[in-house]
A and B are shown apart, each in its own frame.
Chain A
Amino acid sequence: MPDLGTYAVPVLSAYGATIAIIALLVWASWRRGRKVRAELHALEGRRKDA
């Protein structure tokens, strides 16, 4: 851990906020991707059965 001196709070909070936002974005993109893919597979499976 580097010595951040007096500015430890701003630096760490900036990195923290960035990582949180990016993680949220990636997680939301990934989750919606999975949901839609499952939906599509279900639909296409049904069509083949019919």
Chain B
Amino acid sequence: MSFWEYANPKRFMALSSAALPWLTGLTALVLGVGLIWGFFFTPDDFRQGSTVKIIYIHVPSAFIAINAWLMMLVTSLVWLIRRHHVSVLAARAAAPIGLAMTAIGLITGAVWGQPMWGTWWEWDPRLTSFLILGLFYLGYIALWEAIDDADTAADLTSVLCIVGSVFAVLSRYAILFWNQGLHQGASLSMDREENVHDVFAYPLWTCIIGFVLLFITLVLLRTRTEIRARRVKALISRERMA
């Protein structure tokens, strides 16, 4: 049996309906453990004090925000190449989650930056790129909402997603260039790989896994909704024809 079997809406519905309760439980468990561990049972950083606890939501949400777009790119490509409806509907389902995660990343970053950097907002390359990513999500969602015909909307948003991906990467490097033009290499962002100690790393990884599970659960749930919404639309138009 091939992987593409699950592109059949009926099979997808059956599998996702069986998997959803388990996934929901697992998500709640892992996310709960990770967040409680991070919030209650980790020491304060000697420089950042208790604000270090924000890392347990900031990093996972940023991780999801970027990878949700990547997932949308892949599923859009699958739709354009193999014309599997479930694929493009999953991309549609993922976009609002990505937008929400981008918002969480920006908000938690601003709240952390205020006491640490002394400013809510800095035109740092990372922050700026994230803002642009949020705009891409907005545009993608708005295009879906604006087009009536489902297949047309699917095709056009997929094309937008692909072109947008190229420009998102381009913007990332342009922004790096632009900021160095102002600040001569002075970067405010911390080097996470080297700075994070094991005491922080284990709960952080738990939280990342928890956020990934949350993302998968929500995508499945929302994709099921999109598939049903599509069927409703098809049935209504069939009734009108009859």
Contact = CB atoms under 8 A, between A and B. Distances in A.
Mutual binders A and B: yes
Interface string A15-44: 101100110111011101100110110011
Given A5-B50, A25-B100, A18 B57 contact: yes
A29 B221 contact: yes
A25 B112 contact: no
Contact of B104 (A22, A33, A47): A22
B104 A17 contact: yes
Given A7-B49, A10-B112, A18 B104 contact: yes
B33 to A, nearest CB: 16
Contacts of B96: 25, 28
Contact of B51 (A10, A22, A39): A10
A43 B103 contact: no
A40 B230 CA distance: 10
Interface in B1-56: 39-40, 44, 49-51, 53-54
Interface residues of B, number: 35
Contacts of B57: 14-15, 18
Contacts of A47: 235, 239
Contacts of A6: 49, 115
Nearest to B113: A10
B204 to A, nearest CB: 15
25 contacts: A2-B40, A5-B44, A10-B51, A11-B53, A14-B57, A14-B107, A15-B39, A15-B57, A17-B107, A17-B108, A17-B111, A18-B61, A21-B107, A22-B100, A24-B100, A25-B100, A28-B96, A29-B218, A30-B221, A32-B225, A33-B222, A36-B229, A37-B225, A39-B232, A40-B231
A-B pairs, 4 with minimum CB distance: A4-B50, A33-B225, A14-B111, A14-B108
